[in-house]
Homo-oligomer: A and B are copies of this chain.
């Protein structure tokens, strides 16, 4: 099976490629693939990206889109679907981390969860959906150099390391994206 990842995010593409790559050939949409993420939910935004990529992808290739983000308890679930744009439309991962640390300064409640929704569209009449979550706590400062996004600020429940301190394999074993990808691979019949 060939899969094209409908994402311009190098971090997501790297992780999904590694997780799905054993039985499938994974490519990424051409550079410059940008979709206006106007959906109200993770699912709707993933669907927007999947449909846009479906339109430019050969019929024998499955399209896979990811929408994911961080939901913080004391912020009522924000930044949620706006996680990648939390500090502004052009925000970097570092900008977003800085804003989150600033917003939570002095807040004892550090509960949060990562959420990932995957939508796969085949050229025929098939859509396959999967999702994964990872519950944890927001740190008081950045920790580690791995991963991307909010990984330096997130310690999964039951662990002491932030996600950015883990190896890719350690992170994928418990991450929202890893859980969603394994569920999707199982539904597609390509589980490793």
Contact = CB atoms under 8 A, between A and B. Distances in A.
B129 A71 contact: yes
Contacts of A183: 133, 179
Contacts of A81: 40-41
How many chain copies? 2
Interface of A: 39-44, 47-48, 71, 73, 76-78, 80-81, 108-113, 115, 117, 119, 125-135, 137, 157, 179, 183, 187
21 contacts: A39-B76, A40-B77, A40-B81, A41-B77, A41-B80, A41-B81, A41-B115, A43-B77, A44-B80, A47-B73, A47-B76, A71-B129, A110-B125, A111-B126, A111-B127, A115-B131, A128-B157, A129-B135, A131-B131, A131-B133, A135-B187
